[in-house]
């Protein structure tokens, strides 16, 4: 399966407008944003766990990165409330579940295969700081390495926002809204732009809180490329 698989093209999905599609696991459904592959895939997805549902134990050969958007995500390593940003690197394993139910934004097979760094940050508790030379922008760093820069950004109402797209850029609206190329992005809307894209963003009348990743489109791998 291929969905938004051309990384040289702008891709936008307003996930709240999509229907939930059942996954192979009972009680777990999803809204696909991009994908290359079938059940083992390089994928960006919003996943919903019904209350009391779970997924089978598994190893993340290509790593897993996720944000808890609603409810509480759980596994044997702990409980992860709304606002949790988690990176489970390649070779990590767990048995995910949610007793109260949850919705997560999750990215699979998008790590450096040598990465072994676990990250767990509650974005609702950590404090963002003003961005240098970017008026109306506050930044909470989440992860940075030679391949990518991941952060939460808070954009003031009506701010014109610049983002470095030299290595591509990706956005998920956590709350608020913004406009780009005449298109309005609201809560849980997703945007990915290619390397060198001429990006023009204006925050909405209530501002926006946005998960941002840049640089990563210089390093696109798929499961079939890993021996």
- Express each pLDDT in 24-58 by its tens digit: 999 999 999 999 988 888 999 999 999 999 988 98
pLDDT value at 191 more than 70: yes
129-218: same fold as 2-122? yes
Question: What residue spans define the domains of the chain?
Answer: 2-122, 129-218
| Domain 129-218 grouped into CATH 2.60.120.10 | yes
148: CB partners within 8 A, 6+ apart: 167, 213, 214, 215, 216, 219
Which tokens hold the place of 179?
């406009």
Rg (CA), the chain: 17
Note the pLDDT of residue 93.
94
d(CA 111, CA 109): 6
Note the pLDDT of residue 33.
98
User: CB-based burial of residue 193 (10 Å sphere; 0-12 exposed, 13-18 middle, 19+ buried)?
Assistant: buried
pLDDT above 70: percentage of residues in the chain: 99
53: CB partners within 8 A, 6+ apart: 25, 26, 27, 28, 97, 98, 101
| Residue 61 CB coordination number (10 Å) | 17
Q: How confident is the model at residue 227 (pLDDT cuts 50, 70, 90)?
A: low
**pLDDT tens by residue, 110-155:** 998 899 999 999 999 999 999 998 999 999 999 999 999 999 999 9
30 close to 46: Cβ distance less than 8 angstroms? yes
Which tokens hold the place of 107?
């990215």
Q: Looking at residues 179-196, what average pLDDT do you find?
A: 97
Q: Looking at residues 182-195, what average pLDDT do you find?
A: 98
- Per the model's pLDDT, the better-predicted residue between 163 and 40 turns out to be 163
Output the pTM of the full model. Answer: 0.96
**Closest CA relative to residue 190, chosen from 112, 92, 107:** 107
DSSP 27-78: TEEEEEEEEEESSSEEEEEEEEE-TTEE---EEETT-EEEEEEEEEEEETTE
CATH topology for 2-122? Jelly Rolls (2.60.120)
d(CA 78, CA 205): 37
Mean pLDDT value across the chain: 95
């Amino acid at each position: 399966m291929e969905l938004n698989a051309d990384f040289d093209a702008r891709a936008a999905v307003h996930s709240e407008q999509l229907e939930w599609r059942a996954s192979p696991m009972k009680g777990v459904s999803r809204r696909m944003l991009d994908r290359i592959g079938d059940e083992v895939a390089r994928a960006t997805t919003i996943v919903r766990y019904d209350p009391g549902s779970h997924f089978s134990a598994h190893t993340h050969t290509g790593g897993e990165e996720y944000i808890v958007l609603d409810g509480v995500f759980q596994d044997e390593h702990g409980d992860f409330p709304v606002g949790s940003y988690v990176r489970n690197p390649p070779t990590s394993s767990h048995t995910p579940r949610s007793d109260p139910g949850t919705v997560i934004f999750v990215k699979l097979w998008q790590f450096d295969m040598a990465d072994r760094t676990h990250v767990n940050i509650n974005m609702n508790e950590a404090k963002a700081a003003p961005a240098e030379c970017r008026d109306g922008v506050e930044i909470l760093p989440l992860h940075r390495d030679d391949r990518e820069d991941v952060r939460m950004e808070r954009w003031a109402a009506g701010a014109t926002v610049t983002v470095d797209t030299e290595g591509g850029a990706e956005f998920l609206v956590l709350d608020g809204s913004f406009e780009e190329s005449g298109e309005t992005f609201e809560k849980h809307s997703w945007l990915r732009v290619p390397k060198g894209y001429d990006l023009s963003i204006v925050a909405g009348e209530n501002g926006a809180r946005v998960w941002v990743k840049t640089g990563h489109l210089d390093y696109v791998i798929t499961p079939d490329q890993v021996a």
